[in-house]
Homo-oligomer: A and B are copies of this chain.
Amino acid sequence: MTIFSSIFKPTLLIHEEKAKKNLRYINEKILSQGKQFRPHFKTHQSAEIGEWFRESGISKITVSSIDMANYFAENKWEDIFIAFPVNILQIEDIVHLSSRISLSLMFEDLETVSYIDNHLNNPISGWIKIDTGANRCGLKNSQFEQILLLAEKIQQSKNIEFKGLATHAGHTYRFNNKEEICRVYDQSVNNLLEIKNKLLVAGIPKVEISVGDTPSSRLVDDFGDVDELRPGNFLFYDIQQYQAGVCKLDEIAVTVVCPVVAVHLDQKEVVIYGGAIHLSKDTHRYTSSINAYGLITFPDQNGWYDHKVFGYIRSLSQEHGVVVFPEGIPENIKSGSLLCVLPAHSCLAVQEMHTFINLDGEKIFTMLS
């Protein structure tokens, strides 16, 4: 009897041993370079999994929404960085959070700083969001005048302590080898250091640097002159990370187990009960011309077979996935068989599935459960 005999529909299986090993590796790597590790909890969104981090000595965390900050504050996390532009419409929650925990917010315009400062009764930490190339949020090096004005505005505020510069070099996700990812990391950090130096020259006394993405946290040998790292995905990894050369196949720590519901031998395809509502529609590179929605392996006694993959998901609709086995469908696969889908993007698969099951069949809840 394995866990698979109790699985009847799409199920998010977690290999705790792998996840804990992934955590140990990154934690030790970051601490050994004397940096602050502030892991991003959006990957798991689970109070119970959060305790694994606490047991590793971690007390400061990152989240991506005010709701997530509320959830982890209720679960006794007392130092939370909301790595998302401030949503001023949730001012009541922000004020309340600032009264119970050490709260860090990220700013990129003067009006938001004023608005937040005017509403607070308790101190918080303020970071300036810098865009080092991800092209999503933040101010660019070329906007140094605005950055300086913002730093000064935060310094002059009543309730916001200026901490420094934060970035998410999300463009590391666009590359697929160590050399390129390390080059992007170095460029991103150099960019931040240049801004930092200009701020110091301009009279800002202290400027910390906070960065955070899984590819560079895993692959970069020397983090350089940064103070804090905030990766999240490293806990589970996924096929996007695997294809980018960030992790090994046997380090992926979650799978969505899906029943086969139709077998099309001639097409070398099976249909699974497992669609966009279980895996998300996020994709990964499969070949240079094919994007896929996850790769396929099989259950085994110790979890799932993790030395190679056997197929890929070529299309996903709301509840269906179509799996291609390029070398033919293994003989023992039929309707009612279970396949293990290694997801394109584990954070979004967790978001879709809400609740984990571990290999002992125990549920692990998230804030979405």
Contact = CB atoms under 8 A, between A and B. Distances in A.
A320 interface: yes
A292 B86 CA distance: 25
Contacts of A319: 42, 64-65, 84
Interface in A146-191: 170
A87 B320 CA distance: 11
Contact of A315 (B88, B136, B317, B334): B136
Interface in A104-121: 108-109, 111-112, 115
A9 interface: yes
Given A89-B9, A271-B137, A84 B277 contact: no
Contacts of A115: 336
A86 B261 CA distance: 6
Interface residues of A, number: 47
A318 interface: yes
A89 B136 contact: no
A84 to B, nearest CB: 6
Contacts of A75: none
A281 B7 CA distance: 27
A277 B348 contact: yes
B261 A320 contact: no
A2 B320 CA distance: 39
6 contacts: A85-B262, A87-B259, A108-B262, A136-B320, A170-B317, A277-B351
